[in-house]
Homo-oligomer: A and B are copies of this chain.
Amino acid sequence: MAEYIAPIKRLIEEFRKLPGVGAKTAVRYAFATLSLNESEIEQFADAIIGAKRDIRVCPVCCGLTASEGKCEICSDENRDSSVICVVESAKDIMVMEKVRSYRGMYHVLGGVLSPIDNISSDDLNIKELVARIEEGAVKEVIVATNPTPSGDTTAAYIARILEPYGTEVSRLAYGIPVGGDIEYADEITLYRAMEGRKYYGN
């Protein structure tokens, strides 16, 4: 026996599909799953199936929702609908929500422009964003794509596409992470932090 028995092997292969999971971690997860009791196993499997079955895409922001119509944020009338924060993926909404002072809306792109991966603007929810801008109530779009070349390209593309509408388009600031140590910051981050420096007294 140089191999795991089939049901274990199959489970290991499934866990390996998760991001960042290598062979050893997948084995650990598989054996941890084996040690669950029958009702826990069913609960686990059902949570996975439920993720597909019970989740819909919000017709406004393209984020995820458990309800039939608009998502919780889009239907919250206490939020400021004149600002839209554009994010790459639905999970980034929760990341941005940590900034408790932000009370605007969101728009999920569903990725970033990437010619290498064959992802063009048609593959992203850009026309849905344009449609929201065309309604006329949006004053500012904050692009919060990741600080990667693709994220930058996508942000610049959105700025260009929205130019005719006169909507202000901004991008999250680059700089040194708060609480970080400049000793460990890479040179590009330091360069960007220099470039974006803030003067006192303004």
Within 8 A of B (CB), among A19-55: 19-20, 25, 27-34, 36, 38, 40-55
Docked Cα-Cα span, A55 to B35, in Å, equals 11
Docked Cα-Cα span, A72 to B5, in Å, equals 9
Apart from A18-B29, A33-B51, list 8 A-B contacts with CB within 8 A: A2-B97, A6-B54, A8-B51, A13-B47, A14-B47, A14-B48, A41-B48, A45-B45
Within 8 A of B (CB), among A81-98: 89-91, 93-94, 97
The reply on A11 being an interface residue by CB < 8 A is yes
Q: Please report the total number of A residues contacting B with Cβ < 8 Å.
A: 55
Do the beta carbons of A97 and B30 come within 8 Å of each other? no
Do the beta carbons of A31 and B1 come within 8 Å of each other? no
